[in-house]
Amino acid sequence: MVDRPNKPTALVKTPGLPPQPQVTISQDNTRVTASLHTGESIEVLLYGATVLSWKDCAGDEKLWLSETAKLDGSKPVRGGIPIVFPLFGPPNASHAATSSLPQHGFARNVRWEFLGKSTSEGSSSNVKLDFGLSSEGIDEATRSLWPYSFGLLYSVTLDRESLNTTLVITNDGNEPFEIQTLFHTYFRVQDIASVQVGGLEDASYTDRVGGTKTEAGTSSPLTIAGETDRVYQLTKDSKKAIVISDGGEPRFNIFRDNLDQAVVWNPWDAKSAAMADFSPKDGFKRMICVEAGSVQGWQKLDKGDAFEGAQTIFLP
């Protein structure tokens, strides 16, 4: 073998890109899943753009999803994070424009479009999934119940220690409209008897159990010992977290952005027994809904206006 005195120098090795988040669309085109190389993952059903699952790096599920939740588009999902829009709660004749809509509006009852994924610049430790819905994307029957020209852009960002959901609502038509919106997050807890919700102290609230009444805030964290359905009126201070603790340990820190109310809901035994899509029947012991939203009064959007609201849930 001839030894070549002037060998070409080896090519300088380009450092490999860090492992990128994986995003997959299910074969039946109904779900999008995303995972970080460190193990965290989310799964989003295109029906309602409902986040069904959020797991930490150890694979522990953070959201509660009923075992009998309908995932076939026949009913809003009982669990995960359904989106409430453009109406919170049951329709009411006092607000004519939304009085024909179903409870919590229609955004959770229709299929959204997956618009794509992105990551923060230079980062492989987060992934953002974008979903869209517009007046053109809903069926004629729904459009006739709420005949406005709108656009919704919903972004779900998974980070190693947090999940952010951001909704941007635009008025794309000439007619003004009024909206309410909320992230109806079902949190998974170990034992509702040992759950405390902090960060709501001193906030007045509307109690919706057994007739609607307004109550002054209390100084201690909220505990749940029966059916609970409250709309808390919060300050605009987006730096103050709502903290869900379980067994004395903080589990979730929820930060709001431009969402001035939080609903706390647990149906307890009788109400959950009456819901066919709620199971197991003692599942109310392992869930609590803490729902950041804008649901007191209405946000008016004139032609060309936009409203943006977000929540970020941190794992302590």
Is residue 184 a contact point for ligand BG6 (CB under 6 A)? yes
Cβ proximity to ligand BG6: between 184 and 188 the closer is 184
Is residue 263 a contact point for ligand BG6 (CB under 6 A)? yes
Is residue 265 a contact point for ligand BG6 (CB under 6 A)? yes
Is residue 104 a contact point for ligand BG6 (CB under 6 A)? yes
Coil, strand or helix at 57: coil
The size of the chain, in residues, is: 316
As measured in angstroms, the least distance from the Cβ of 230 to ligand BG6 is: 8
CB burial of residue 67 (10 Å; 0-12, 13-18, 19+): exposed
Is residue 183 a contact point for ligand BG6 (CB under 6 A)? no
Q: What are phi and psi of 144, to 5 degrees?
A: -70, -25
Dihedral sign for Cα 112, 117, 120, 126, please: positive
254/101 Cα distance (integer angstroms): 29
As measured in angstroms, the least distance from the Cβ of 314 to ligand BG6 is: 22
109/84 Cα distance (integer angstroms): 10
Is residue 222 a contact point for ligand BG6 (CB under 6 A)? no
186 C-beta neighbours (distance < 10 Å), count: 25
As measured in angstroms, the least distance from the Cβ of 214 to ligand BG6 is: 15
- Given the structure tokens 């609970």, which residue do they identify? 228
Residues carrying an active site annotation: 184, 291
189/209 Cα distance (integer angstroms): 22
H or E element in which residue 5 lies:
none
As measured in angstroms, the least distance from the Cβ of 63 to ligand BG6 is: 15
The residue within the footprint of ligand BG6, chosen from 55, 208, 240, 286 (CB under 6 A), is: 208
256 annotated to bind ligand: no
Is residue 143 a contact point for ligand BG6 (CB under 6 A)? no
Cβ proximity to ligand BG6: between 80 and 199 the closer is 80
90/274 Cα distance (integer angstroms): 17
The residue within the footprint of ligand BG6, chosen from 100, 103, 174, 214 (CB under 6 A), is: 103
Q: Which residues are annotated as a binding site?
A: 78, 103, 108
Binding site for ligand BG6 (CB under 6 A): 76, 103-104, 184, 208, 229, 263, 265, 291
